[in-house]
Every structure is written in C-alpha cells, then in structure tokens.
C-alpha cells in the first residue's frame, strides 16, 4: 500500500504539481468566461434629483417607489447566478424633467448594493420594461384624523368612559392629487383596549388618589397613522395635541349611598277616580319609615357604574317613585329612581368636574372646552346607568303591591 501511495504522490511530483495548477487555472478561466442570462424579480426603484417642488406618485419616504420591476441580466456565470433582488437597485434620475415621462432602463440605471459585485465587469447587458414616472406637484396639507371608539375590552374591574381628543390633524406632504383626496376623506386611528393591563390601571387608580375615574395617557408608541399613498407606512402623529391623548376609565366598585332614600307615590290621572291619595296610602314597615312627615327607604343602598363625585352631587335630589296603577294593568307596581332638577344637577356636576381640569390645563383652552362638553355627556351617561344595589352587590329588588287601601313595599331577598 505504501508503494502505491509513494508512486502516486512522490514520483514525478513536480510534473504532477504543474498539471494540477494548470487544471485549476483552466477551470477558473473557463468559469469566468461563461456567460448566462437570468431574470431577477422585485428589484427596487429609486428616484433621485427631484426638483424641490415636485414629487413622484408612489414615492415612499425612503426615496423608493412603491412598485418593483423584473430585470434580465446577462453576464459572467459566477456573478449572475448568485444575485438576489436585494443586491441591486434601479436608479432613475429626475433631473431636468418638468413633466411625467417614460424612463428606459439600461445598464446605466443599475446600481450594485453588494460591495463584492462590480457591475462594469460582471454584467454585459441589462433588459427591463420601460417605467412610467408620473411627476406631480409636491404639496403639504393638514389631514383631519378621527380617533374612533377603541376596540377590545377594558381590563377586569374597569369600564371604558371616553377618549380625548377625538379629532387631530396630520401634516402630510406628497403628490397633490393624492394629498387632496386624502384630505377629503381624512384618516382614522383606533386604539386597542386589550393592550392595557389591569395592573397599569390599578397603579394609576392608586396614584390618582383612588378616584373612580382613572385617566390613562396613551403612549407615544401608539400614536401612529398609516398613510395610504405611502404604502401604509406608519408615521408618528405630528399634531402637538396628540400629547394630550388619553382614555378615561371608571373603576367598577360599590359606593355607599350613605343616606335614606325618600319615597313618594305617583297617581296617574287616568286612574284617579279609584286610585288616589285619599283611597290609598303607603304603608310603613321594617324598610319603609316615616320621619318628619316624609316616608323613606331605610335599606342600606349602594351604587355602581357612576363616580363618587356624581353621587355627591345628586345624592340629596334622589327620589324613589312608585307608580300606582290598578292590578289589571300591572300586577306588581312599577318603581324607579328619579332625579329632581336635572339641569341644576348637571351644572353642579360640570362645575365640580372642571375644578381639577382648570388647574392642570389652564393654558389649554380647547382642553377646558372639551372637559365641559365631556362632563355633560358623562353626567347624562351616569344618569342612565345609575342602579341601586344591596350590600351583597345585587340589584335592589322591591315588590310593590296594591292591597286594601294601602300600597305595600317589601324587599325581595
């Protein structure tokens, strides 16, 4: 075996070494001189030297068009076979063009992004379809943005109240026809409540003085808008008012009413011949008490889905009303909680709500106006949402009936 290896590698070794080098050289030479043709898809197109007052329809902020082309290259096999779309770029010079034009693509338009590729020696021919370049006037406009109602669910134990500001604007530059069209229809931004955690709101609740209304400032990373003619690339909202973006939540917890609730009977006129204050009176019992000539419900009561401030404003103007109707009309008498002098209560609530806002945002006139408008809307929402609860957290359930010359009210367990 050793004799065979000796004859193979040692005998006449200079001649064999020269033969090896010659074979490698010939292989290299042949490989470099072989040319192939290959089509490279999705090659990016860059526009350069645009006039300051012009732009190209479909031009992205990075200087590339929002479309790509396929190019056919002829060149050395070793260079062409391993090319990728990311290795090349088609560059179109807009210098001296005042109107739209059709750009012919040849080797002069091709730029290598691969430092190991020398296009002058590696590529002999470039073929591609002509590209229509639509030149347009470059304009800048304020595009209205509507902040829509958030999607998703608020964290457990909290209720979505409102979002503000609801309207912003975005300063946008681009082709005249596209920017004008965008201004007409505007933009929309929608936030997702699922991105907010219960821990975040609980921390804010503690930090903000354990007030039921918790304000969540929207992070800057959320404040982005997609421009359709920029290939829906997200851009930061550049309206200064975006710094004020916030979502208000209501912490859902039982708040004690802290007081007795006055009760009165409403006698509809259409039944007054038989049912009236002279024929029926409200009976007192373990939950109905008469004091100072007024009857009141003595059950400990709680409310939810309203703020403590709202309750403080309306507490003394709450009244439980029972509607007295014949038994053939209503088996169990209907009852409801009413608010006496709603307009005065609304004004008082708004005034109380604005105290903190006016101190924090004294220089923001628009914020103060928003807060007044929002406070009025919120008051009416609280008005509609108010429900009485028992200590166990269950809705108050009263059974009101007409009996012999009396109206009796009992609590259903």
Burial label for 299, CB within 10 Å (0-12, 13-18, 19+), is: middle
At residue 324, does pLDDT exceed 80?
yes
CATH 2.60.40 fits 34-133, yes or no: no
The pair phi, psi for residue 64, each rounded to 5°, is -95, 150
Q: What mean pLDDT is predicted for residues 231-250?
A: 88
The two structure tokens encoding residue 123:
């590529």
Q: pLDDT tens across 202-231, in order?
A: 999 998 888 888 989 999 999 999 888 877
At residue 26, does pLDDT exceed 70?
no
Burial label for 133, CB within 10 Å (0-12, 13-18, 19+), is: buried
Q: How confident is the model at residue 369 (pLDDT cuts 50, 70, 90)?
A: low
pTM of the model: 0.73
Q: pLDDT tens across 168-196, in order?
A: 999 999 999 999 999 999 999 999 999 99
Percent of the chain past pLDDT 70, that is, above it, reads 88
Position 278 scores a pLDDT of: 92
Residue-level length of the chain: 413
Across the chain, what does the average pLDDT equal?
Answer: 86
Q: Which residue has the higher pLDDT, 234 or 329?
A: 234
Q: pLDDT tens across 44-78, in order?
A: 999 999 998 999 998 888 889 989 999 998 888 87
Judge contact between 354 and 368, C-beta under 8 A. yes
Judge contact between 94 and 101, C-beta under 8 A. no
Q: How confident is the model at residue 380 (pLDDT cuts 50, 70, 90)?
A: very high
Domain boundaries, the chain: 1-30, 34-133, 142-251, 255-411
């Amino acid at each position: 075996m050793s004799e065979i290896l000796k004859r193979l590698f040692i005998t006449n070794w200079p001649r064999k070494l020269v033969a090896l080098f010659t074979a490698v050289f010939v292989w290299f030479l042949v490989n470099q001189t072989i040319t192939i043709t290959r089509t490279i898809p999705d090659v990016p197109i860059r526009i350069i030297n645009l006039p300051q007052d012009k732009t190209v329809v479909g031009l992205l902020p990075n200087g590339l068009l929002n479309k790509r082309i396929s190019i056919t290259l002829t060149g050395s096999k070793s260079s062409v076979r391993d090319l990728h779309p990311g290795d090349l770029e088609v560059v179109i010079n807009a210098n001296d063009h005042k109107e739209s034009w059709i750009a012919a693509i040849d080797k002069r338009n091709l730029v290598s992004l691969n430092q190991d590729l020398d296009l002058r020696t590696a590529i002999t021919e470039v073929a591609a379809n002509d590209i229509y370049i639509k030149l347009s006037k470059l304009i800048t406009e304020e595009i209205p943005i509507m902040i829509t109602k958030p999607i998703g669910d608020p964290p457990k134990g909290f209720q979505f109240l409102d979002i503000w500001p609801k309207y912003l604007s975005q300063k946008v530059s681009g082709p005249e026809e596209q920017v004008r069209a965008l201004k007409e229809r505007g933009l929309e931004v929608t936030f997702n409540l699922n991105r907010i955690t219960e821990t975040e709101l609980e921390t804010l609740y503690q930090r903000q003085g354990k007030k039921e209304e918790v304000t969540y400032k929207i992070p800057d990373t959320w404040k982005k808008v997609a421009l359709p003619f920029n290939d829906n690339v997200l851009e930061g909202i550049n309206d200064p008012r975006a710094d004020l973006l916030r979502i208000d939540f209501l912490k859902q917890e039982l708040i004690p009413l802290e007081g007795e609730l006055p009760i009165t009977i409403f006698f509809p006129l259409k039944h007054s011949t038989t049912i009236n204050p002279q024929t029926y009176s409200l009976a007192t019992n373990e939950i109905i008490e008469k004091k100072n000539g007024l009857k009141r419900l003595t059950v400990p009561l709680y409310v939810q889905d309203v703020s403590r401030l709202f309750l403080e404003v309306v507490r003394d103007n709450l009244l439980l009303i029972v509607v007295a109707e014949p038994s053939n009309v209503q088996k169990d008498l209907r009852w409801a909680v009413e608010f006496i002098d709603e307009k005065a209560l609304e004004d008082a609530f708004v005034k109380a709500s604005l105290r903190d806002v006016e101190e924090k945002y004294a220089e923001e006139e628009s914020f103060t106006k928003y807060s007044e408008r929002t406070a009025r809307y919120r008051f009416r929402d609280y008005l509609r949402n108010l429900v009485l609860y028992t200590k166990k957290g269950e809705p108050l359930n009263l059974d009101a009936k007409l009996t012999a010359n009396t109206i009796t009210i009992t609590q259903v367990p």
